[in-house]
Amino acid sequence: MSVSPDGSVAGMIAQLKSIAEKALADLAQASTLESLDEFRVAVLGKKGSFSEVLKGLGGIPASDRPAIGAAANDWKRKLEEALDARKSELEEKRLASQLESERIDISLPSRQPPAGALHPITQTTRKIIQVFSRLGFDVTTGPEIETEFLTFEAVNIPKDHPARDMQDTFFAGPGVVLRTHTSPVQMRAMREKGEWPVRILSPGAVYRCDDDATHSPMFHQIEGLWVDHGVKMSHLKGVLEFFAREIFGSDSKIRLRPSYFPFVEPGAEVDVSCFNCSGRGDDGCRVCRGSGWLEILGAGMVHPRLFEMAGFDKKSGYAGLTGFAFGLGVERIAMLLHRISDLRLMYQGDLRFLSQFRA
Ligand code: FA5
């Protein structure tokens, strides 16, 4: 089909017209963007039907060619415009159907992402801090990597003292340890302030060479210290009684059993009445195992040597200065409150265990 059937100018223009008109009609039926591309190649491409006709121009006298060229360009422009218009139409349709198929139903209830919760140790720590804050204790912290001096000597545990064996520890370098208790913060707080009163609470991680169901190599303590003229053992008892009632229930009682800690004199282990059997010591009580009491912390009156170590100036009147201190294990309190039998569960990151503590 390279020349018009009769080889005339009019015949060739008529042929172009018929191809273009058929193409325009077909175009209106094209239903996909892909078929538009095929269409463009089949009609306007190098080997398309339009070009094939124009190849016959060689056999046409030069004077007639401009008329055929003008007609061809005119139809080509019309075809291209029609193609572009159809393309926009089909693109719009495709977008509309895509939007329809991807429509989001905003009235559907949303999926709840799994909610996190504070770790039971954090929850317990915060609960305890809240109780003591109400009594005016300020929270202060100390470093976990501590000098051997502040961990031991400064709180009256000399190098050769047997009490050191009870707190065997990890050395981080010469004279530097992972602190075994929060008691060095007592010394830091007194030294920092340089005067009294001092009334602080210090939570934080501590480290010991321990590892069993009730002892972990890393655990948490909260230290309390109240130093002022006139602070007595009865104040210690009152404060701890308040603490026990707030944490374990309003019927809770406490008892102090004489004990030894080098940094207090006198010293005591403090027990709280069993909240499970109301302190009766029932035979089958799984919490207190029939004793009626649960050990919760160590406490006592600050040893006067600590005031010297703190650098308090005797001449400025610290004679007669007294204070009490206590130290509790946060895991121990959490275990009692939630009846957890093995403290290692708290460090395993098992969500089946942890999700039980969602508030
Ligand atoms: C002390 O650490 C003293 N500094 C507490 C103190 C402060 C006494 C101020 C007097 C005045 P103790 O070694 O008993 O004391 O530890 C205190 C608590 O930490 C214990 O009652 C126990 O609940 C907890 N604890 C001790 N070792 C571990 C361990 N390895 N894992 C978990 N908890 C522990």
Q: Rounded CA gap, 17 and 343, in Å?
A: 91
- Indicate which residue's Cα is closest to atom 31 of ligand 1: 215
> What pLDDT sits at residue 1?
39
Q: Rounded CA gap, 257 and 227, in Å?
A: 22
Rounded to the nearest angstrom, the distance between the alpha carbon of 334 and the centre of ligand 1 is 14
- Indicate which residue's Cα is closest to atom 27 of ligand 1: 215
For residue 143, whether the previous peptide bond is cis, meaning omega lies within 30 degrees of 0, is no
Tokens of 172: 């981080």
Tell me the residue length of the chain.
Answer: 359
Rounded to the nearest angstrom, the distance between the alpha carbon of 166 and the centre of ligand 1 is 10
> What pLDDT sits at residue 61?
84
**In this structure, which amino acid lies at residue 202?**
S
CA 80 from centre of chain = 59
Strand order in the sheet with 171-173: 145-147, 176-178, 171-173
**Ligand 1 pocket test target in 125, 212, 332 with most atoms within 8 Å of CB:** 332
Ligand 1 atom with minimal separation from the 183 CA: 4
Q: Rounded CA gap, 258 and 235, in Å?
A: 17
Look at the block and give the residue holding tokens 């800690």.
261
> What pLDDT sits at residue 65?
85
Residues 260-277, mean pLDDT to the nearest whole number:
95
For residue 197, whether the previous peptide bond is cis, meaning omega lies within 30 degrees of 0, is yes
- Indicate which residue's Cα is closest to atom 10 of ligand 1: 299
> What pLDDT sits at residue 6?
63
Q: CATH number for the 120-357 domain, one of 1.10.150.120, 3.40.50.2300, 3.30.930.10, 3.40.50.300? A: 3.30.930.10
Phi, psi for residue 277 in degrees, rounded to 5? -110, 20
Residues 238-242, mean pLDDT to the nearest whole number:
98
Higher pLDDT, 15 or 231: 231
Mean pLDDT rounded to a whole number for the chain: 91
SS3 assignment, position 211:
coil
Ligand 1 atom with minimal separation from the 333 CA: 23
Residue list, ligand 1 pocket, CB within 6 Å: 181, 183, 208, 210, 215-216, 219, 221, 223, 261, 264, 267, 297-300, 325-329, 331-332, 343
Residue 58: CB atoms within 10 A of its CB come to 9
CA 14 from centre of chain = 77
Question: Where is mean pLDDT largest: 8-12, 77-81, 310-314?
Answer: 77-81
Tell how strand 138-139 and strand 198-207 pair up. parallel
Residues 172-200, mean pLDDT to the nearest whole number:
95
% the chain with pLDDT above 70: 97
What are the tens digits of pLDDT across the range 110-149?
Answer: 888 888 889 999 999 999 999 999 999 999 999 999 999 9
End-to-end CA distance of the chain: give it in Å, rounded. Answer: 85
Going by the DSSP 8-state scheme, the letter that residue 357 receives in this structure is G
**In this structure, which amino acid lies at residue 241?**
E
Tokens of 13: 């223009």
Tokens of 148: 């051997």
Q: Rounded CA gap, 116 and 350, in Å?
A: 13
> What pLDDT sits at residue 7?
64
Higher pLDDT, 9 or 204: 204
